[in-house]
Structure 1
Amino acid sequence: MKTYNEGIWSKTFDFINYMFMIVLCVIMLYPLLNTFSVSISSPDLIAQGKISWYPQGFDIHGYKYIFQSNDILTAYKNTIVYLVIGTFLQLLLTSLFAYPLAVSEFILRKPLAIFVIITMVFNGGLIPTFLLMRDLQLFNTMWAIVLPVAMSAFNIIIFRTFFQDIPKELRESAYLDGANDIGILFRIYLPLSKPLLATFALFGAVMFWNMWFEPMIYFNDEKYQPIQLILRRMTIELNDYTDVGGLQRYIETFNVNPKNIKMAAVIVTILPILFIYPLLQKHFVSGMMIGSVKG
């Protein structure tokens, strides 16, 4: 039975927790609200620095420029293609590599595990990777950014650990029913690994969506560039007051503040990821418990 003092301390702790979380949410939401407010606010009020967390005035010329720009729409399509194919390959190849490492009867399990761990410590570096992509003639192809990250040593270890927690009796009974290892992986292990797959699908999707450095190195042709690279280029153009693609001419014609276009581009860029997260939230929360202590 709780004493009076214990009840007071418990309520006080809960109150402080709630207040801390409210303050933390406000701190995290303010930049997003400010970005959205600036993207649709009056250019004159933006220039005067009067926009905080809510919009003032109304101007959507920033969004009009975004959606009428063929470069941005093409970059959106490229990013979605890279994201879907890259994330699928990551999950597929990681599962195929991690499954034999989780099977105790596999003879090469330990040597391959050591090989995976070594790659976590040593890597070729940027210049050798660049030369390799050049020699393989992968410039201006999606494989230049998809293949180098198709398998991660960290992901392989997590997948292997998860597969090892699946009762081996399921695999043994499947063997007795005539199933082979490919069938066991795709019909038993992967259906039981939905939280794991959802978690790393979200990680992979966010990685490919935010990728800009590798495309900047490997994509010389603008028609292959992803949305983040276009956003970076647009920001530089606005800061340098160049007129690439008629951007400055558009600003002068419609009296648009450059921040309108910058913030509109940021909002358009982050919205898809914000919509993906709620769809995977249930599995994501379960997947984050992978490797935790089980009672």
Structure 2
Amino acid sequence: MVTTNPVPDISAVRAVTTTIKDTPAYTIFRVVNAVVLVTICFVTLYPFVNLVAKAFSSQGYILAGEVNLWPRGFNLTTFDWVFHDERFWTNYGNTVVYTVVATAISMVITTTFAYALSKRHLKGRAFFVGMLVVTMFFNGGLIPNYLLISELGWKNTIWAIVVPNAISAFNLLVMKSFFENFPAELEEAAAIDGLTTYGIFLRVVLPLSKAVVATMILFYAVSFWNSWFPAFLYLSDPDLQPVTLYLRNLLAAASGAGQESGMEAVQIGANLQAVAMLLTVIPIIAIYPFVQKYFVTGVMLGSVKG
């Protein structure tokens, strides 16, 4: 017995096509939506493109306000001066070390603390959460923090940079929310198989939390990479300072630096801000594409309340 597929009714297909055809109102909506999104993208990208253009432009065009999206009077003098400064590379290496160590410490503290707070049977859970929330609105102040770091003997050490900001209340609450929605059945099955609490956390929970973990790593890394004020307070040794403080000092003393290097002070003043900002953001921009796929997923998972 041979079976044949029924021939579709052409008139019915045309009727359905006519029914789902975009209405004028929906077409207008799509056009407006596209225009708005393109405008937002342009507004978002313009400052960075303008920054790159200024970094490679001559000082005269920058001072005249003639640099927008393309360099004018191509210039690499400021880049050359910065790149040949040994202290720049020393401070750049310091920034890498501080960022890696601080992010690692922050992730260990944040993940373990958040996992503990996510357990509703934890005694004193409400107290710890309340204490955490209070730190988002109140802090000890600049002078007490400075005195504390001095008394601990942490001035001119890496610990003055990585320890005081080792935990972010916002990041901790996001991870806590994520762990609260983690399937309890998986943890129960792991416990039946003989895993301890630490084993469950390290071998079950963390491997299945890559999205939120990658998001928190990005948050912490960006924060520590861009930080300069703690180093400004606690690191008086130039060989220990991060590159952000190095670039800040160059910008603050542009005229003096230009005279010492034999360059025109006005050229350093016109170019240095753009060059400093560009050199600071390049590593983060290079890393972001590798964690972008986790970024939105991690934030959304951490913000959904079950």
Is 1:171 aligned with 2:182? no
User: Per-residue deviation at 1:206?
Assistant: 1.1
SS in 2 for 1:148: coil
What residue is the counterpart of 1:37 in the other structure?
53
Report the AA paired with residue 183 of structure 2.
P
Report the AA paired with residue 280 of structure 1.
V
Q: Which moved more, 1:191-200 or 1:17-26?
A: 17-26
Is 1:64 aligned with 2:80? yes
What residue is the counterpart of 1:266 in the other structure?
277
Is 1:242 aligned with 2:256? yes
Q: 1:150 to 1:274 in 2, by over 3 A?
A: same
Deviation per residue, 1:24-57 (Å, 9 max, x gap): 2222222222221122223443344332210123
Q: 1:291 to 1:212 in 2, by over 3 A?
A: same
Q: Is the 8 A contact 1:63 1:265 kept in 2?
A: no
What residue is the counterpart of 2:4 in the other structure?
none
Give unpaired runs (5+ residues) of structure 2.
Answer: 1-15
User: Per-residue deviation at 1:290?
Assistant: 2.6
User: Per-residue deviation at 1:122?
Assistant: 3.5
What residue is the counterpart of 2:38 in the other structure?
22
Structure whose CA Rg is larger:
2
Matches of 1:229 and 1:97, distance apart in 2: 31
1 or 2 for the larger relative contact order (CA 8 Å, sep ≥6)? 1
Q: Is the 8 A contact 1:66 1:265 kept in 2?
A: no
Matches of 1:200 and 1:115, distance apart in 2: 21
Q: Which moved more, 1:145-154 or 1:84-93?
A: 145-154
Please point out which of 276, 301, 305 is paired with 1:290. Answer: 301
Matches of 1:245 and 1:75, distance apart in 2: 22
Q: 1:6 to 1:86 in 2, by over 3 A?
A: same
User: Per-residue deviation at 1:6?
Assistant: 6.7
Q: Could you tell me the TM-score, scaled by structure 1's length?
A: 0.89
Q: Is the 8 A contact 2:55 2:275 kept in 1?
A: yes
Q: Is the 8 A contact 1:83 1:209 kept in 2?
A: yes
Q: Is the 8 A contact 2:226 2:280 kept in 1?
A: no
Q: Is the 8 A contact 2:174 2:299 kept in 1?
A: no
Is 1:215 aligned with 2:231? yes
Report the AA paired with residue 62 of structure 2.
I
- 1:1-295 equivalences under 5 Å are 7-238=23-254, 241-243=255-257, 246-247=260-261, 249-251=262-264, 256=267, 258-293=269-304
What residue is the counterpart of 2:10 in the other structure?
none
Q: 1:292 to 1:97 in 2, by over 3 A?
A: closer
Q: Could you tell me the TM-score, scaled by structure 2's length?
A: 0.86
Q: Is the 8 A contact 1:61 1:260 kept in 2?
A: no
Q: 1:251 to 1:88 in 2, by over 3 A?
A: same
Q: Is the 8 A contact 1:39 1:263 kept in 2?
A: yes
Matches of 1:50 and 1:155, distance apart in 2: 42
Matches of 1:285 and 1:261, distance apart in 2: 34
RMSD: 2.5
User: Per-residue deviation at 1:116?
Assistant: 2.5
SS in 1 for 2:136: helix
